[in-house]
Amino acid sequence: MSTQGSWSAAATRFLNRFHARMAARARPATAFVSQPEPRSTGSYSRGRQLCAGNLMFAGHLVEAPGAMIWDIDPPDAAWEEEIHGFRWLDDLAAVGDARARLVAQDWLWGWIERYGNGRGDGWTPEAVGRRLIRAIHHALFVLRGIDPDRSARFYRSLAAQTIFLSRRWHSAAPGLPRFEALTGLLYAGLSFEGMDAHVEPAREALGAECARQVDAQGGIPTRNPEELLEVFTLLTWAQSALEDADRTPDEEHLAAIARIAPTLRRLRHADGGLARFQGGGRGLEGRLETALAASGVRARHAEGLAMGYARLSGGRTSLIVDAAPPPGGRGLGRRACLDACLRTDLGPAPAGGELRLGRGLRRGLASRRAGDAVAFHALPRRLFQRATVRAAPGGWRRARIARGCPRKRSGRDHPCRDRPAVRRRA
Task: List, for residues 236-253, the tens digit of each pLDDT value.
Answer: 999 999 999 999 999 999
Query: In the predicted model, is pLDDT for residue 161 greater than 50?
Result: yes
CA dist., res. 321 & res. 305, Å (int): 10
| C-alpha span between 400 and 93 (Å, rounded) | 51
- Judged against a pLDDT cut of 80, whether residue 31 lies above it is answered with no
Strand partners, 380: 391
DSSP assignment, residue 328? T
User: What average pLDDT score do residues 131-136 get?
Assistant: 94
User: Which pLDDT value is given to residue 20?
Assistant: 60
Q: Could you give the dihedral angle defined by the CA atoms of residues 42, 57, 88 and 222, in that order, rounded to the nearest 10 degrees?
A: -60
Among candidates 143, 157, 56, which has minimal Cα distance to 115? Answer: 157
Residues 177 and 182: their CA atoms lie apart, in Å, by 9
The reported pLDDT for the residue numbered 215 is: 92
Taking CA atoms, 276 is separated from 233, 269, 336, 359, in Å, by: 18, 10, 12, 10
Torsion of CA 73, 359, 362, 229, to 10 degrees: 150
Per-residue pLDDT tens over the stretch 252-267: 999 999 999 999 999 8
Taking CA atoms, 29 is separated from 26, 154, 162, in Å, by 10, 11, 13
Closest CA to 110 of 129, 76, 83: 83
For residue 312, the model assigns a pLDDT of 80
- Examine the pLDDT at 68 and tell me if it is beyond 90: yes
Residue 270 has pLDDT above 70, yes or no: yes
- What is the C-alpha separation between 274 and 227, in angstroms, rounded? 11
Q: How far is CA 235 from CA 172, 256, 277, in A?
A: 17, 8, 22
> Rounded to whole angstroms, how far apart are CA atoms 14 and 327?
30
Q: What is the mean pLDDT of residues 336-343?
A: 41
Lowest mean pLDDT among 31-45, 135-149, 262-276, 379-393: 379-393
Task: State yes or no: pLDDT of 17 exceeds 50.
Answer: yes
CB atoms within 10 A of CB 216: 6
Q: DSSP letters of 205-223?
A: HHHHHHHHHS-TTS--TT-
Sign of CA dihedral 319, 324, 326, 328: negative
Task: Look at 350 and 365; give whichever has higher pLDDT.
Answer: 365
CA distance 264 to 226: 9
* Residue 397 CB neighbour total at 10 angstroms: 12
Q: Give the mean model confidence (pLDDT) for residues 299-318.
A: 78
**Model pTM score:** 0.78
pLDDT at 228 over 90: yes
Which band of pLDDT confidence, cut at 50, 70 and 90, is reported for residue 100?
very high
CA dihedral 27→191→180→199, nearest 10 degrees, is -90
Position 225 confidence tier, pLDDT thresholds 50, 70, 90: very high
